[in-house]
Structure 1
Amino acid sequence: MIQVMGVTSRSTRPELEQLLRSSHVVSLHCPLTPSTRGLIGPAELELMRKDAILINAARGSVVQREALWAAVQARRLGGVGLDTHWVEPAPRDDPLYSHPAVLALPHLGSISAEVYDRFAEVLAENIVRVREGRELLHRLC
């Protein structure tokens, strides 16, 4: 199930629009799928409060880059936090990343000692599973 600011894949467009209008912080945490590609574009950014903060911790293409850049330049947002990018690594010469209203991380916002420990546990478990001919944990394809 996709969740964006309390909106799920089963939500209606009016629900999303109302949340964009009223939210002080919009934080995106969803996979990149055909239905989420470009989810936040010019119309959605225009709905947002002028002091709102947009955080994208999902995938870069969930937000339309040119629309975001236009909104940042026009000061239509209070700030932007990016933990994911349209091209990785993010190009150093992209003016979006040097704008004072934008804080960008190298897609490591969730990395901590606990996360690395869990990665190691899953890796070790999957090695055992492969050797035993069992299904892998968290298989994507």
Structure 2
Amino acid sequence: LKGVDSIHSQDKSMHSLQYADVAKRIEDKFSPSAELQKAREIGGELQGGFNDKTSFENLASTLRKKGLISSNEQVAMEYLKKNATKLSFDEFDKIAVNDNHSKEMKGLIDSVVNTMKFVDSVNGGGVL
């Protein structure tokens, strides 16, 4: 029986050595998503996107061109531009909870506001 145990122990130790060798060769790497890369790329172009309605239109156009929002979401941004008393995340959140919107419009507004918040935070906040 001792012979069987020693063979079993040798197998375990060989397995441990092999595992350690494989573990040394494994490297973790972070690859940013396409969305994250696009958000980083356009950071400078968005500076002051909430300054006035023209800046907000440029913001919507840039987000659309880069593929960060859909054409329907661009329509939602137009809606926000027309109906917000002030261009700000707080104001957009108030508009989004308004019960007069269809579920689809609420979804589009939520989506576009989340996208703008994402782009703003990726670029250090305070960009918009």
Q: So what's the TM-score if we normalise by structure 2?
A: 0.25
Question: Which is richer in strand?
Answer: 1
Q: Give the number of the structure whose alpha-carbon radius of gyration is greater.
A: 2
Question: Which is richer in helix?
Answer: 2
Q: So what's the TM-score if we normalise by structure 1?
A: 0.23
Relative contact order (C-alpha < 8 Å, sep 6+): which is higher? 2
